[in-house]
């Protein structure tokens, strides 16, 4: 015994426990004529229900069906406990699983929680039909330009009238000026799968048409009536008790501008990306 204590102390800088290990290893080698087998990593393995292939497929199917901005470990946890587990096990007993386990398995399945960065959106803009349409559209716009007024000089005060042919009408270019308020109705960090591209909308809020302009007539108006409407930022509660979102709040100025457009400036449209709900 003294030899094992001395060996543990001088060779391993350990105490009585290491001395017992040395004595046990010596006894095993003496009786079996073999060096002792290591038991490291041979403990009882505890498996999770998420290791089951059917459970994994159902969890992934649900998680991938959610928009990236709506994904969260909390939602997957609730789906597993309330839907997946009762369906797979056939048990009515409530199942519980920790958020730590859910997060660990999401990472094993190829998801990562990260902030949004600049990405490339491959939307098929080089398809043959898109290229043909773009060429046709560009040619039409260049033809319209020959029928528009040009402005020259240092301060653009010189008006150059177009050379119109018989039967041609002057074309007026109408543009619109817009602004939007940051309603911050989006999230900045989402669960994204490896290789998945998440395209976020422009800005952190919805759009508001401020006014229409042209170089000839200025702001869009009828006499003293302007197609301009100012709204206060924030959330408004309706009479029924439900909050009015930014999208509902913007319907007023949008319709107001559209009411002027058909009769005054036909064909004027807005395709601003910030006007998405």
CB atoms within 10 A of CB 72: 19
pLDDT at 88: 87
Domain residue spans in the chain? Answer: 2-32, 50-109, 128-275
Question: What band does 77 get if pLDDT is binned at 50, 70 and 90?
Answer: very high
Q: pLDDT tens, 130-184?
A: 889 999 999 999 999 999 988 888 888 888 899 998 889 998 887 766 665 555 5
Q: Which of 96-100, 103-107, 198-202 has the lowest mean pLDDT?
A: 198-202
Distance from first CA to last CA of the chain, Å, rounded? Answer: 80
Q: Indicate if the pLDDT at residue 33 is higher than 50.
A: yes
Confidence of residue 253 (pLDDT cuts 50, 70, 90): very low
**Worst-scoring range by mean pLDDT, 28-37, 176-185, 234-243?**
234-243
Residue from 204, 213, 179, 178 nearest 116 by CA: 204
Q: Is the pLDDT of residue 233 over 80?
A: no
Q: Which pTM value belongs to this model? A: 0.40
Q: Report which of 205, 228, 190 is spatially closest to residue 71, judged by C-alpha positions.
A: 190
């Amino acid at each position: 015994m003294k030899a094992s204590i001395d060996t543990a102390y001088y060779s391993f800088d350990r105490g009585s426990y290491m001395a017992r290990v040395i004595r046990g290893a010596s006894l095993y080698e003496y009786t079996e004529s073999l060096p002792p087998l290591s038991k490291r990593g041979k403990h009882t393995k505890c498996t999770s229900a998420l290791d089951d292939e059917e459970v994994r497929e159902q969890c992934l199917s649900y998680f991938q069906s959610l928009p990236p901005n709506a994904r969260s470990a909390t939602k997957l946890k609730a789906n597993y406990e309330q839907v997946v587990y009762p369906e797979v096990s056939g048990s009515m007993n409530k199942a519980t699983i920790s958020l730590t386990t859910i997060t660990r398995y999401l990472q094993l399945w190829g998801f990562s929680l990260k902030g949004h960065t600049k990405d490339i959106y491959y939307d098929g803009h080089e398809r043959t039909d898109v290229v043909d349409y773009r060429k046709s559209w560009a040619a039409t716009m260049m033809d319209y330009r020959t029928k528009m007024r040009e402005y020259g000089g240092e301060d653009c005060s010189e008006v150059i009238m177009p050379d119109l042919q018989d039967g041609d009408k002057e074309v007026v270019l109408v543009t619109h000026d817009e602004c939007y308020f940051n309603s911050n109705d989006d999230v900045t960090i989402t669960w994204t799968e490896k290789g998945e591209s998440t395209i976020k909308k422009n800005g952190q809020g919805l759009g508001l048409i401020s006014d229409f302009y042209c170089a000839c007539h200025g702001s869009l108006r009828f006499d003293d009536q302007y197609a301009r409407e100012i709204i206060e930022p924030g959330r408004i509660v309706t009479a029924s008790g439900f909050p009015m979102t930014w999208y509902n709040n913007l319907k007023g100025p949008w319709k107001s501008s559209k009411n002027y457009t058909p009769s005054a400036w036909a064909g004027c449209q807005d395709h601003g990306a910030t006007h998405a709900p």
